[in-house]
């Protein structure tokens, strides 16, 4: 990091200022590193905002949350961090509120569900940087060969998977409940069963009757019937399931926009529908977001506001989303993509995003709850597993974490 920042305390509205920004790398290598996006954005910003420089460092997703935490602990918080969570820093009083670093127009332009997901106690601190949502993917070739229609309900999934299994498809339905990202697969099914992780008051309800019923159904109708493939769900990570889909070994699974592009690049014809529910198409999809936030320590609120208002212009939002097959976080950028045929492959995801349900990002206890889900949920569908006991174990872990919030 090349910038040397001095002082802290109140707002600094005059004189030359260097903002220090720490961002995650969404690329797979030097050719598509996020560094290229930030270099272009900063060049444009600095050209139109004399007196403000931006020093950017880009870090791997494997390291960035830990490295930002270390900076903050040392009293060397960056001005801006683009990372996976914000709640701990907001609870500790280290972040500016959204209304302090955004114009009214910019803040009002966020999709409401994302603004809510970025809030702690109904006050927004996390600024959504990029989003994604999930749809049910199916191999159109296999479905056409078997004379199957796209599934609309869980019973359709079960019946279609049985046909695909009889026809030799390796994974009729790929169910990744391994530790890589099982909190996502779990939440998609819970939403389809009219449940979820939290209730209307924001308290955890992981062992609700609806959630237990969902995993009882999964175990009885898919896992016990041998319709989820040769790898036990608790040992199947998301990436392995995705790789199997792009290799043509999966009939159905839950996927996101990047998987769509990867599968079609390998010649897999992809069908996509809203995640089926227990009694019809699900009304809410899982939404996932990454966050950007402004730290108070250096006192650069005025400059941060100028930077964030520039960052969230339609061009900059769309450029990043387009580069990494993700979704924009603002109403105007979403509308622009929905009216442009270039982005037609993303239209179904864009349509699902406004009504998507997000993880309880605003709860600092979510990190521990998420880890308990990842560690335990696969056991719920094991041959001798008990969905009720596993969900109650996760609920207890979550309650303990919430009590320490």
- The DSSP secondary-structure symbol of 346 reads G
Answering whether pTM is above 0.75, one says yes
Which residues, 6 or more positions from 306, have their beta carbon under 8 angstroms from its beta carbon?
49, 52
Helix ranges (H only) for 104-198 are 104-108, 112-117, 140-146, 154-166, 182-192
130: tokens are 């990029």
Burial of 183 (0-12, 13-18, 19+ CB in 10 A): buried
Q: 281: part of which helix (H) or strand (E)? A: none
Pairing of strands 270-273, 52-59: unpaired
Number of other residues whose CB lies within 10 A of the CB of residue 235: 12
**One digit per residue, pLDDT tens: the chain, 405 residues?**
233 222 333 454 445 999 999 999 999 888 999 999 999 999 999 999 999 999 999 999 989 999 999 999 999 999 999 999 999 999 999 999 999 999 999 999 999 999 999 999 999 999 999 999 999 999 999 999 999 999 999 999 999 999 999 999 999 999 999 999 999 999 999 999 999 999 988 899 999 999 999 999 999 999 999 999 999 999 999 999 999 999 999 999 999 998 998 999 999 999 999 999 999 998 889 999 999 999 999 999 999 999 999 999 999 999 999 999 999 999 999 999 999 999 999 999 999 999 999 999 999 999 999 999 999 999 999 999 999 999 999 999 999 999 987
Sign of CA dihedral 168, 169, 174, 179: positive
Residue position matching structure tokens 């270390």: 70
**CA 369, CA 384: separation in Å to the nearest integer?**
24
For the chain, report the end-to-end CA distance as a whole number of angstroms. 33
Pairing of strands 286-294, 357-358: parallel
């Amino acid at each position: 990091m090349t910038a040397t920042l001095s002082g802290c305390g109140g707002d600094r509205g005059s004189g030359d200022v260097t903002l220090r920004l720490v961002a995650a790398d969404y690329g797979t290598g030097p050719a598509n590193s996020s560094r290229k996006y930030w270099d272009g954005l900063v060049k444009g910003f600095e050209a139109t905002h004399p007196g403000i420089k931006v020093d950017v460092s880009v870090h791997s997703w494997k390291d960035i949350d830990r490295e930002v935490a270390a900076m903050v602990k040392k009293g060397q918080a960056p001005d801006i961090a683009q990372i996976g969570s914000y709640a701990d820093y907001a609870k500790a009083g280290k972040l500016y509120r959204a209304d302090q670093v955004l114009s009214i127009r910019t803040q009002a332009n966020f999709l409401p569900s994302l603004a809510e997901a970025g809030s702690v106690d109904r006050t927004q601190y996390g600024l959504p940087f990029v989003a994604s949502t999930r749809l049910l993917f199916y191999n159109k070739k296999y479905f056409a060969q078997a004379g199957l229609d796209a599934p609309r309900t869980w019973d359709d999934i079960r019946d279609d998977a049985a046909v695909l299994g009889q026809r030799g498809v390796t994974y009729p339905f790929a169910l990744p409940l391994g530790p890589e990202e099982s909190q996502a697969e779990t939440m998609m099914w819970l939403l389809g069963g009219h449940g979820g992780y939290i209730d209307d008051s924001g308290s955890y309800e992981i062992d609700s009757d609806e959630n237990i019923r969902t995993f009882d159904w999964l175990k009885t109708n898919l896992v016990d019937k041998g319709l989820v493939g040769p790898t036990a769900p608790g040992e199947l990570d998301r990436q392995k399931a995705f790789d199997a889909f792009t290799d043509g070994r999966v009939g159905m699974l839950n996927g996101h926009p990047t998987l769509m592009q990867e599968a079609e690049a390998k010649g897999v014809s992809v069908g996509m529908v809203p995640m089926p529910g227990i009694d019809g198409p699900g009304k809410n999809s899982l939404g996932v977001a990454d966050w950007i936030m402004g730290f108070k320590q250096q006192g650069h609120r005025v400059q941060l506001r100028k930077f964030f208002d520039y960052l969230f212009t339609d061009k900059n939002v769309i450029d990043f989303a387009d580069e990494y097959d993700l979704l924009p976080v603002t109403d105007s950028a979403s509308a622009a993509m929905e009216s442009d045929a270039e982005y037609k492959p993303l239209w179904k995801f864009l349509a699902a995003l406004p009504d998507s349900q997000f993880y309880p990002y605003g709860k600092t206890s979510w990190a521990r709850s998420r880890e308990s889900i990842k560690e335990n949920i696969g056991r719920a569908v094991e041959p001798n597993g008990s969905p009720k006991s596993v969900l109650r174990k996760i609920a207890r872990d979550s309650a303990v974490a919430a009590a320490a919030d």
